[in-house]
Each structure stands twice: as C-alpha cells, then as structure tokens.
Amino acid sequence: MKTFVIGISGVTNGGKTTLAKKLQKHLPNCSVISQDDFFKPQSEIETDTNGFLQYDVLEALNMEKMMSAISRWMESPRHSPVSTDSGSTEEIPILIIEGFLLYNYKPLDALWNRSYFLTIPYEECKRRRSTRVYEPPDVPGYFDGHVWPMYLKHRQEIENITWEIMYLDGTKSEEDLFSQVYEELKQELTKHKCLQVTT
C-alpha cells in the first residue's frame, strides 16, 4: 500500500510537536509517532564527566522499539496503535514522525517522502527551554554543557545528507510555519496521488 511519511526534526523547543499536531488535524488519514515516547528509563541513561545525564544522544532512545511502532503502522496504516484521525479510503495514509534525532538514524533514511528541520537561534532556544519543565529537571549548566553542544554536533552530521531537507525558521509564528508546510505538503500529496494512479 502506498503511504506518505513526513519527518519533522530539529532543535529542542523548536516547535516540532506543535507543528506535527497541527498538521495531523488538517491532513486526512494522518497518524503521528513521537520520538520522545521512546526514551529509555533514567536508570539506563549514561552520565558524562560533568555529571550531566546524556539524554540528547541516540543511545538514550529505544530506537528498535520506535522502528517496531513504525513497521506496525506501515503494515496496517489505517488501524494504527498511534493516534489517527479517520480518513476516507481514497486518501493516502500519512505518517508524521517527529523528534530531535531522526535524520541521524540510518534505518529511517529510506522512509522519508518529505523531511523538515526546525531551527531557532541559541538565545531563543535557551529562553524557551528555561520555560519548560522536564523530568528529570535540567540542572544548572545542562543546556550549555550538553543540550546545545549535542544539537550542534547532530546538525553538523546531517549536513552531508543526500536527500533534501527543508529547513524551517522556528522563530516564525505557529500559524506561519503551519501554513508554509501545509501548502507544500498539499502539493506533494497531489503529485504523490498522480503517481499512484499512473503506476
């Protein structure tokens, strides 16, 4: 069965989840899988020499479990264990995968029909992060000592990727970001449906 898979990745507090949820409300037959749901328990998270828990790395995530959830959706996209809005049978099943480390994980590479990456500047990211409550909470120095350096490292890693990633300005309003992505996706989905008819 033809499916359409969208990746929404990027910096912490960049607006990934908000964008994914807005798109899900407006796209027919759309499900969302969130990478944040696959963090390992705190007892399994490594600590660095500064005592910082290493959450912003792939090793902190149970990626095999996430891949299983994606595989289950691929096998039965209309009867998904993840949140789904019912759509008409003519609609192509759409899956949005959102998370901070999607394009650094090779097994996901072949899935993407569209790839988005949200960016915000350091100061804005630090400000937004300080307004959020995490479990466990961020300790003093955690953003500068772990979160931001890991983001820069992972962003550099994806600069040589061969497929197209559309970079989005996360400082834009939620509405502007949504409109930009939604319009583009509508065009892509129309093309996708035409291909489906002709193949």
Q: Distance between CA atoms of 69 and 34, rounded to whole angstroms? A: 10
| Whether 146 contacts 54, CB under 8 Å | yes
Catalytic residue, chosen from 36, 37, 144, 176, is 36
d(CA 161, CA 25): 30
109 is catalytic: no
C-alpha angle 106-110-114 in degrees, rounded to nearest 5: 110
What separation, in Å, do the N-terminal and C-terminal C-alpha atoms of the chain show?
12
| Cβ-based neighbours of 83, under 8 Å, separated by 6 or more | 24, 31, 32
What is the Cα–Cα distance from 106 to 63, expressed in whole angstroms? 11
Q: Which residues are catalytic?
A: 36
